[in-house]
Amino acid sequence: MAEEAPERRRRRSPRRSPQAATAPTEASEALRAAGAMLARRGRTEREVRDKLRTKGFDQPIIDTALDRLRNAGLINDHKHAHDFARSLAARRGLGPQAVREQLLRRGVPRSIADEVSAQWADPERQTAQARQAVASYLARQRDVPEDVRRRRLYALLRRRGFEDEVVREVLSDVVPED
């Protein structure tokens, strides 16, 4: 009878727990998702956190990803608030109150929103922006009666976040009172 060859055992790698196997993958996936969001446009920490949460990432994974992004300088609420406020004031002609509200909606902490909007509260800057908004409106609304024009302009400037004193000053120069 022929001798039987000894049975060989295959070595198996030690088993890892499912959590250990997926944790680095999930963390890198969260970083990849956050990076893609930030590549499109600047975002606040809260916006990234909320978006990652809706994508189904667990809180510890989100916190780790945010820490890495913060340390790399990719998330900076203070810088984002300044850039966004500059954009709002330049493109849309918003006053400091509207800038503050927009920053708060984006998830900028209240202290940063207050600080940034205060920088845009310069009366001369506000007056110039309000005058631009009024000039743009008047160019489109020539056939509107004076009293209606005045009411509409007042509402427009207040919606855009200009302070009451600035609105009154600009309107007194542009639209005479009855």
pLDDT higher than threshold 50 for residue 46 = yes
34 pLDDT band, cuts 50/70/90, is very high
Residue 4 within any structural domain of the chain: no
**C-alpha span between 56 and 177 (Å, rounded):** 58
Percentage of the residues of the chain whose pLDDT score is greater than 70: 84
Residues whose CB falls within 8 Å of the CB of residue 178, separated by 6 or more in sequence, listed in order: 146, 147
Which residue has tokens 């909606």? 105
pTM for the full predicted model: 0.67
Final residue belonging to a domain, choices 71, 101, 135: 71
Domain housing 130: 123-174
Q: Which of 5-14, 44-53, 79-88, 158-167 holds the top average pLDDT?
A: 44-53
Q: What domain count does the chain have? A: 3
169 shares its domain with 144 = yes
Average pLDDT over residues 3-13: 57
Residue-wise pLDDT tens digits, 133-165: 888 888 887 788 888 888 899 999 999 888 888
98 shares its domain with 132 = no
